[in-house]
Amino acid sequence: MPEFEIGPTRADEDEAILAMTVEAGVFNQKENSTVRELLDGYYEGPEISGYNFLSCREDGRLLGYACYGPRELSSNGYDLYWICASIHARNKGVGRALMRSVEEEIAKRNGVWVVIETSDTDHYAPARRLYERCGYALSMYLPDFYCDGDGLCTFTRRVR
């Protein structure tokens, strides 16, 4: 595994995160603006918004990020809201390294479950493969959930 530096996202990284999200070409405009909202919540304070960000860097350069947070009315459940790797750092293990760091953070907080909701469309096939490679189980599948032809896949992993 390469030597990534993974830690809390810094205040000066928001532009790089938004640029990387658009550049990934996976997310639509509504999704891109959701990342802006998640970041705003993180900068306001993760304890208030429930949004935590981790950045993955190599030689100081941002290679990817992840956003996760506690599920409301639950003390053991956490959602992974977002994970994204730079298109310039494919197949380097950025996604996997970020997943492991998110799980470590959740385990530190005594959490039990990581939940990932994603789409069943071809577009998200690489993301689903990442989750499966990282040991996540497809715990629920609801076809046509988001809209006709776009179903919900819920992946989960128990961390303690």
Among 36, 74, 90, 121, contact with a copy of itself (rule: CB under 8 A):
74
Residues in the chain: 160
Among 30, 47, 59, 60, binds a copy of itself (CB under 8 A): 30
Q: How far is the CB of 30 from a copy of itself (least distance, A)?
A: 8
Residue from 18, 58, 77, 100 in contact with a copy of itself (CB under 8 A) = 77
Among 73, 91, 108, 122, binds a copy of itself (CB under 8 A): 73
Q: How far apart are CA 76 and CA 60, in angstroms?
A: 33
Contact 120, 153 (CB under 8 A): yes
Is residue 32 part of the contact set for a copy of itself (CB under 8 A)? Answer: no
Angle (nearest 5°) at CA 64 between 63 and 68: 160
Region of 13 on the Ramachandran plot (φ > 0 left; ψ -120 to 50 alpha; else beta):
alpha
List the 77-85 sheet strands across, edge first.
5-8, 52-58, 61-70, 77-85, 113-119, 150-158, 137-147
**Judged by CB under 8 A, does residue 76 bind a copy of itself?**
yes
Cβ proximity to a copy of itself, 43 vs 145, nearer residue: 145
The correct pick among 46, 58, 107, 154 for binding a copy of itself (CB under 8 A) is 154
Cα(153)–Cα(129) distance, rounded to whole angstroms?
12
Q: Is 108 in the site for a copy of itself (CB under 8 A)?
A: no
Nearer to a copy of itself, 49 or 156 (CB): 156
User: By the criterion CB under 8 A, which residues form the site for a copy of itself?
Assistant: 30, 34, 71, 73-77, 112-113, 115, 139-140, 142, 144-148, 152, 154, 156
